[in-house]
């Protein structure tokens, strides 16, 4: 699906269980960290990872900040336009930062754990407004 309004209307945000951290992969235990990661990216500075907080703690990594993951249930196209802008603007409007990860089938938003409930409510409102305007 690549039509922005239709994607937003159908995005079905869902708050996943657990908390996550963003971190650099450690030299010690990197293989275990890779196995636990929900996402990795090779940056110029080295490998970055998104790890479940419990796994990170087991690896001796102390979180600077805890995040919750929101899965957007719509199967959006990689070449779709507007979804990232719409959700980041909606969250910005209520002062909630987000880190967006676009995967093959779905997009994922990582928001500060303390803001997760407000973020879900705002995204549900955004989706409802898109359905009403369609």
The residue ranges of every structural domain in the chain are 1-17+69-134, 20-65
DSSP label of 77? -
The reported pTM is 0.90
Give the largest CA-CA distance in the chain. 52
Q: Is the pLDDT of residue 2 over 60?
A: no
What fold, for 1-17+69-134? Answer: VC0802-like (3.30.2130)
- Residues 68-122 have pLDDT tens digits of 999 998 877 666 677 889 999 999 999 999 999 988 889 999 999 999 999 999 9
* Helix (H/G/I), strand (E/B), else coil: 123: helix
């Amino acid at each position: 699906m690549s039509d922005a309004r239709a994607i937003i209307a159908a995005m079905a945000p869902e708050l996943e269980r657990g908390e996550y951290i963003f971190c650099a992969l450690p030299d010690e235990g990197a293989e275990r960290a890779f196995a636990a990661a929900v996402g990795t990216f090779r940056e110029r500075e080295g490998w970055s990872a998104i790890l479940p907080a419990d796994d990170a703690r087991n690896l001796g990594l102390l979180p600077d900040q805890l995040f919750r993951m929101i899965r957007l249930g719509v199967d959006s196209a990689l070449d779709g336009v507007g979804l990232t802008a719409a959700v980041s603007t909606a969250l910005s409007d209520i002062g909630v930062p987000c880190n967006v990860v676009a995967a093959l089938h779905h997009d994922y938003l990582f928001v500060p754990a303390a803001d997760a409930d407000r973020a879900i409510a705002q995204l549900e409102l955004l989706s409802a407004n898109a359905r009403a305007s369609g």
